[in-house]
Amino acid sequence: MQDLAGDPDPIEIGPRLSDQLELHGISRRGFIQFALGLTAAMGLPFGMAGRVLAAIEETQGRPAVIWLHFQECTGCTESLLRATHPTVESLILDLISLDYSETLLAAAGRQAEQALAESIARNQRRFILVVEGSVPMRDGGIYCKVARKTPQQMLHEIAPQAAAVVAIGSCASWGGVQSAAPNPTEAVGIPEAFAREGITRADGAALPVITLPGCPASPYNLLSTVLYYLTLQKLPALDAKGRPLFAYGRLIHDHCERRPHFDAGRFAEQFGDEGHRQGWCLYKLGCKGPETHANCPAIEFGDVGGNTWPVGIGHPCFGCTEQGVGFHKALHEQAEVESVAPPALFPDVFAEHPGGATLASAALAGAIGGGALVYAVGAGQRLRAAEAAEAARSSAVDQPKTESEPR
């Protein structure tokens, strides 16, 4: 994805946060802890915490964010609002200028639409477009109209002016629950909508799209993405589906706390049985962890202590982030296990065994063979001498006889 640090017109951030800590009743310690947590969640080295802190505290100017809602349940917005450190989160939100959000906007109707148009005009090519919800492609998108406009129309108008697009939630990433069979509205995610509608940036370059799937998306992933940009002035590394690698680079299976139970073959067979009570692996109950990319086991939800994620509380993951898994496979259906590199961890069909020749044994065998050969040759030579002696003796014996016999 594009590195916006090279953008000639970098986005600026608003008033210093450090001045407002006391006002909002946040201790400096609590604030630093929060920043450190987010640094870790982004997968940045511990030493960079200082830079993350500085970015939050010191940067100037607030980027404008336009938040569109299409076919969605608004869960992503709600989860952002329900974060357990509301004061700090809202501070982060204070770092951005949320110019348009149908959920949070005080205004309504024409005033709301006017605010949208003004924000776009004022922040040409410098605002972040956050999209929540999928785009219905059937019948031109008439199944989701806001202010008489279809999502396609809105995207054509707004998206080309944006600096970057964040598709938050599974719906915006790949279609989410609306795309479950039979997908009556032909719901697709933003990346696909852009491809099918041919939407690019105003100057023709491709629009950078970050997808943050999840149902709901973890608010911390959004916050981390924003903070990452603020700190480093560039987008985090993304995978082929536009997902930040720091959050979606691993399978849940590969950092699940119940993995040792999977490896040892300890499975819960039914909800409430002995294995379930012991916290054993939920694979047999249909956990999709082995084929789902997300960081739920690491950052969890709700910030209320340990194990606050589905598997942690005893319910199998259903693969909400993963297209083709969430809302597609049955809850009880066993997942495909996409191990990282299985053959490297397994013995080969033909194992090598010891037992061949060593220097010592080869030397001994050689010595025995050599000794036997020398012995045999020696014996052969002695025999030859005996043979010669015998021949000489018999010819000596013969001669007198022939002499005495009459001819």
Partner 1 sequence: MTEVYRPLGGRLLTREFYFLGVIVLIGAYFTLRRFLFGIGAVSNLSDGFPWGIWITYDVVTGTAIACGGYAMALLVYLFNRGQFHPMIRAALLTSVFGYTLAGASIIVDVGRYWQLYNVFLPQYMNLNSVMLEVALCVTLYTLVLWIEFSPAILEAMRAKRALRLVRHGLFFFIGLGILLPTMHQSSLGSLLIIAGHKVHPLWQTPIIPLLFLITAIAMGYGMVVFESLYAAVHLGRRLETDLVSRVAAVIPWLLIAYLVIRLGELALSGDLAYLGRPGREPWLFALEMVLFLYATLVLLDPERRRRPTQLFWSALAVVLAGALYRFDAFLIAYNPGPGWHYFPAVGEMMITLAIVAFEVMAYLFFVKKTPILAVAPQTESTLTARASYPEHTTMRGASA
Partner 2 sequence: MNIDRRDFLKVALAGATTALTAGSAVARPPRELPPDAVGILYDATLCIGCKACEVACKTTNALPRETDPALEQAKGVQDIWDASRDLDSRTLNKIKAYAQGTAAVKDRDHDGYSFIKRACMHCVDPNCVSACPVRALTKDPVTGIVGYNPDACIGCRYCQLACPFNIPKFQYDKPFPRIVKCEMCRHLQAKGEIPACCAACPTGASLFGRVSDLLEEGHRRLSFKPGEHQDYPIHSLDSGKGRSAEVRGYYPHLYGETETGGTQCLLLAGVPFENLGLPPLGPESSARLSETIQHSLYQGLVAPTLLLGGLVYTVYRRTEAERHDDPGAPTAIKEERRHD
Amino acid 320 reads: C
> Mask 348-367, x = binds partner 2 (CB under 8 A)?
xxxxxxx-------------
Please say which residue, 61 or 324, places its beta carbon nearer to partner 2.
324
Cα–Cα distance measured from residue 10 to residue 181, given in angstroms and rounded to the nearest whole number: 43
- 3-class secondary-structure state, position 79: helix
Pairing relation of β-strands 164-168 and 209-212? Answer: parallel
Structure tokens at 206: 């491709």
Minimum CB separation from partner 2 for residue 316, in Å?
Answer: 13
> Mask 166-195, x = binds partner 1 (CB under 8 A)?
------------------------------
What does 134-186 look like in DSSP terms, one character per residue?
Answer: BEE-GGGGTTS-BTTB-HHHHHHHHGGG-SEEEEEHHHHHH-GGGGSTT-TT-
- Considering only residues 377 through 406, tell me which ones interact with partner 1, judged by CB under 8 A: 379-380, 382-387, 389-390
Please say which residue, 180 or 385, places its beta carbon nearer to partner 1.
385
Contact yes or no for 236/228 (Cβ under 8 A)? yes
Minimum CB separation from partner 2 for residue 183, in Å?
Answer: 19
Cα–Cα distance measured from residue 155 to residue 160, given in angstroms and rounded to the nearest whole number: 8
Structure tokens at 18: 């450090």
Q: Is 346 in the site for partner 1 (CB under 8 A)?
A: no
Q: Is 46 in the site for partner 2 (CB under 8 A)?
A: no
> Mask 253-292, x = binds partner 2 (CB under 8 A)?
---------xxxx-x---------------xx--------
Amino acid 221 reads: N
Minimum CB separation from partner 1 for residue 398, in Å?
Answer: 15
Q: Which of 347, 356, 400, 406 forms a contact with partner 2 (CB under 8 A)?
A: 347
Structure tokens at 194: 């852009």
Contact yes or no for 267/279 (Cβ under 8 A)? no
Minimum CB separation from partner 1 for residue 136, in Å?
Answer: 59
Please say which residue, 333 or 390, places its beta carbon nearer to partner 1.
390
Please say which residue, 117 or 391, places its beta carbon nearer to partner 1.
391
What are the beta bridge partners of residue 238?
244
Rg (CA), the chain: 38
Please say which residue, 47 or 347, places its beta carbon nearer to partner 2.
347
Rounded to 10°, the helix 219-232/49-58 angle is 90
Cα–Cα distance measured from residue 158 to residue 131, given in angstroms and rounded to the nearest whole number: 11
Q: Is 343 in the site for partner 2 (CB under 8 A)?
A: yes
The residues that touch partner 1, with contacts defined as CB under 8 A, are 350-358, 360-362, 364-365, 368, 376, 379-380, 382-387, 389-390
Please report, as ranges, the residues that interact with partner 2 according to CB under 8 A.
262-265, 267, 283-284, 330, 333-334, 337, 339, 341-343, 346-354
